[in-house]
Chain A
Amino acid sequence: MPEQKNQEEEFREIEITVFRYNPQDKTSTPEYQTYTLTETPGMTLYIALSKLWATQDHSLSFDFVCRAGICGSCSMVVNGKPRLACKTRTNEFKDGKITLLPLPAFKHIKDLSVDTGNWMNGMSKKVESWIHAKEETDNSVLEKPVEPEVADAVFELDRCIECGICLASCSTKIMNDDFIGAVGLNRSARFAIDPHDERSDEDFYELIGDDNGIFGCMSLMGCEDHCPKDLPLQTKIAYMRRKMVKL
């Protein structure tokens, strides 16, 4: 079958170097391990890692759920840049060499797997990430109408998938583990512009008005430049800063 042979010859070999370490295992030492893999058309890093796991190394740990850039589970550092593995194609790396690291700024579980969930849960509690209204919501009654532009603005910020990439790109978070980062400030902005939420600026100050909140942000824009959902983090952080400084 000469045609099939030609097609196979076009597929290149790629080298994937992975950070390996298991902090749970006292005998484990941090190291880089390189795997060689045949690239297939349309291959994403998620597919490549799954293939490595299935065919070469069952001890390799990494996270994924949706495979469609929605769940935010497969964030990792790809050649220095925090990205979603499921949305990163291997063919964009021309030399075929890819180095994968776990996200910094989160608790390391093993290899490429980190615990973003507990951190995000803590952040949600810190910024009280839910609608605050004086009257109890009656679910049997229709919500008060909201202007379409305002609803769009809220929905836009609701697109955050809590992948942790903004935090892994943030110098402040790297130096101060308690910093709530762009994900937390974006969440505050989301509720601050939502007319259903009755909290005042003073109320938001109590949640984000310190160096672990809005005043910790140094405007280095790592969050804005790496966010896989292209959220308007630059403008929303500035929006919250202007509000908080006026108080």
Chain B
Amino acid sequence: MSQQDSTIELLTGRNRLNKKSRVPARLDFLQSVTGLILALFILFHILFESSILFGKDAMYTLTKLFEGEPFIEGGEPLIISVLAFVIFAVFILHALIAMRKFPSSYREYQRYRAHSKLLKHSDTNLWFIQISTGFMMFFLGSIHLYTMMTQPQNIGPFASSDRVYSDVAWPMYLMLLVSVVLHAGVGVYRLIIKWGVLDGNDPRANRKISRKVMKAAVLFYLLVGIASLFAYMKIGYEHQNEYGGRYMEKSK
């Protein structure tokens, strides 16, 4: 957009053709798309990460698979760096766009909170969960993604467990897990409502079903995530005297 074009919009709220900007439409769509990408990513990420529940070998094999071992001997952690970078970019874009909906002054926040406490309306309360968890993830998500970008070689049954236990990353991972699962679950439910994708012949009944499925999925992912975190902590505790040592497959 040229300087003149943006000045015209500044003065009139419209473009040269006396039309409204299409940017709000693009932002609305982009917020949903980036949110959906991140939700799908997290859906698989937590499942892959829970491979530790099936043993160290299972987690090790999966890690090496993501490092491209079938094609690159020994695997290439840089692949993880690139993936983390892409996710970080989508994450930042989503945060940037979604931020515009946050209450941005005392007055807005006071009115929103007082109103939602008065109303006691389930979906309005869900949004509070979303903005709270979203805010937390500005920091927690950034720490995790930066670590994955810069230390992709430190992923594995022992390396991850050492980070979780000996490097005391578990409080951060626990908070991140709860935040991301709630945020993604509520977010996907709201996407369904927002775009009317599952309205069918009875939108009200289908909305109730979507809510139930969302709650069940959140519970499932929280349980799987917490169980995995516990498994990493147990391995980390047992491995603390050999901190820094790397896992070798039993077969090797």
Q: Which residues of A contact B (CB under 8 A)?
A: 77, 80-82, 101, 104, 169, 171, 174-175, 202, 205-206, 209-211, 214-215, 218-222, 225-226, 232, 234-235, 238-239, 241-242, 244-245, 247
**Contact yes or no, B196 A235, CB < 8 A:** yes
Could you tell me if B196 and A238 are in contact, using CB atoms closer than 8 angstroms? yes
Query: B interface, by DSSP: helix, strand, loop or mixed?
Result: helix
A121, B2: Cα distance in complex, Å = 38
- B13's nearest neighbour on chain A, judged by CB, is A210
> Is B24 an interface residue, CB under 8 A from the partner?
yes
Tell me the nearest residue of chain A to B116, going by C-beta: A171
Cβ–Cβ < 8 Å partners of B121 in chain A: 169, 220-222, 225-226
Of the candidates B100, B116, B121, the one having the most CB atoms from chain A within 10 angstroms of its own CB is B121
- A to B CB contacts below 8 Å, 30 in the list: A80-B119, A82-B119, A101-B118, A104-B111, A169-B119, A171-B124, A175-B103, A175-B111, A205-B20, A205-B25, A209-B24, A211-B100, A215-B28, A218-B127, A219-B194, A220-B121, A220-B123, A220-B126, A221-B193, A221-B207, A222-B121, A222-B123, A234-B199, A234-B204, A235-B196, A235-B203, A238-B199, A241-B28, A245-B29, A247-B22
Bound CA span A209–B23, Å: 9
Please, how many angstroms separate the alpha-carbon atoms of A155 and B186 in the complex?
Answer: 34
> What's the Cα separation between A238 and B191 when bound, in Å?
10
Contacting pair B190 A219 (CB below 8 A): yes
A167 to B124, CA, bound (A): 13
A210 in contact with B194 (CB, 8 Å) = no
B96 → A minimal CB distance (Å): 15
Residues in A with CB closer than 8 Å to B252 are: none
CB <8 Å contact, B25 and A215: yes
Set of chain A residues within 8 Å of B27, measured between Cβ atoms: 215
Instruction: Please give, as numbers and ranges, the residues of chain A lying within 8 Å of B118 by CB-CB distance.
Output: 77, 80, 101
Q: In the complex the two chains form, is B28's CB within 8 Å of A245's CB?
A: yes
The A/B interface has a contact count, at CB < 8 Å, of: 93
Report yes or no: B24 in contact with A175, Cβ–Cβ below 8 A.
no
Q: Which residue of A lies closest to B117 (CB)?
A: A80
CB distance from B31 to the nearest CB of A (A): 10
Q: Would A104 and B115 count as touching, CB distance under 8 A? A: yes
A81 is contacted by which of B119, B194, B207 (Cβ under 8 Å)? B119
Q: Which of B124, B195, B203 contacts A232 (CB 8 A)?
A: B203
Q: List chain B positions with a Cβ less than 8 A from chain A.
A: 19-22, 24-25, 27-29, 100-101, 103, 108, 111-112, 115-116, 118-121, 123-124, 126-127, 190, 193-196, 199, 203-204, 207
Question: Within the assembled complex, what's the spacing in Å between the Cα atoms of A209 and B22?
Answer: 8
Given contacts A77-B118, A219-B194, A245-B25, 9 further A-B contacts (CB under 8 A): A169-B119, A174-B111, A205-B25, A206-B19, A209-B24, A222-B119, A225-B123, A238-B199, A244-B25
- Chain B residues closer than 8 Å to A215, beta-carbon distance: 24-25, 27-28
Q: Are B123 and A221 in contact (CB under 8 A)?
A: yes
**Docked-complex contact B115 and A171, CB < 8 angstroms:** yes
Chain A interface, DSSP helix/strand/loop, else mixed = helix
CA A80 – CA B114 in complex, angstroms?
A: 11
A202 to B123, CA, bound (A): 31
- In the complex the two chains form, what is the Cα distance from A81 to B120 in whole Å? 8
B103: chain A residues at CB < 8 Å are 175
Chain A residues contacting B116 (CB-CB under 8 Å) are: 171
Distance, CA A171 to CA B194, complexed state (A)? 15
Closest CB-CB distance, B184 to chain A, in whole Å? 16
A148–B100 Cα distance when bound, in Å, is 42
When distances are taken between beta carbons in the complex, the residues of chain A under 8 Å from B120 are 80
Chain B residues within an 8 Å CB radius of A242: 195-196
Contact between A219 and B203, CB atoms less than 8 A apart: no
Distance in Å: Cβ of B75 to nearest Cβ of chain A:
42
- Name which residue of chain B comes closest to A226, CB basis: B121
Q: B25's contact among A209, A219, A238, A239, by CB below 8 Å, is which?
A: A209
- With A238-B195, A242-B195, A242-B196 already in contact, the answer to whether A174 and B115 are too (CB < 8 A) is yes
Residues on the B chain within 8 Å of A174, using CB: 111-112, 115
Report the bound CA distance from A206 to B101 in whole Å. Answer: 21
- B19 surroundings in chain A (CB, below 8 A): 202, 206
Taking a contact as CB atoms under 8 Å apart, the answer to whether B193 and A175 are in contact is no
Contacts of B25 in A (CB 8 A): 205, 209, 215, 244-245, 247
A175 to B190, CA, bound (A): 19
CB distance from B55 to the nearest CB of A (A): 42
CA distance A175 to B131 in the complex (A): 15
